[in-house]
Structure 1
């Protein structure tokens, strides 16, 4: 009789007698393995996260993604950083406005201290 590599399930050869007890043992092993996966408590060493359980890794990645999204949103909301540029070695900022007397847009370039 052969056995599977991962769960050591019994694999009867064509000439072997098939026993109900062998089938039941295989079912118990499969049930235990699937149950661990459902709980998320099975350790997966190849995961590139601190937590090596599937549920823990998903939560860890979700937390990192949330942090990155918050940082990205904060960056988008910060208009000042989008208006800065370098003029040689001097950091400058451009500000836009509207001159109601002239009825036109204005641009002011100033040095950032």
Structure 2
């Protein structure tokens, strides 16, 4: 009999007899994991949710500003991910530069945003984001350093 990868649930083959005890054991494992997930979610405090909403709102605000600019990607890595994006104003001056670094492609661990003055020559603000991933390589957080 095979078992599932993540929760070790029993998977009888077509040639095997299905036992009610196996179905019950699978149901108990699923029930316990669902309860744990619900408990974990419930314990996520309102403060954490508020903090997340503030950060998410800030990211959205910056994103809204960035869509008003032209973007130019450069420096593609071995996975064809562009690691540098320049955002330019209508007059061609640099507004912001985003640079991915750290880690290995495609799981970069740092994203640095540099904002420029109206001439596009002088950096007036730098924001560094630390990026973390889950076991499947999906981004789980981007935290401002």
- TM-score of the pair, normalised by structure 2: 0.33
Higher strand share: 2
Higher helix share: 1
Structure 1 or 2, whichever has the larger Rg, is: 1
- TM-score of the pair, normalised by structure 1: 0.41
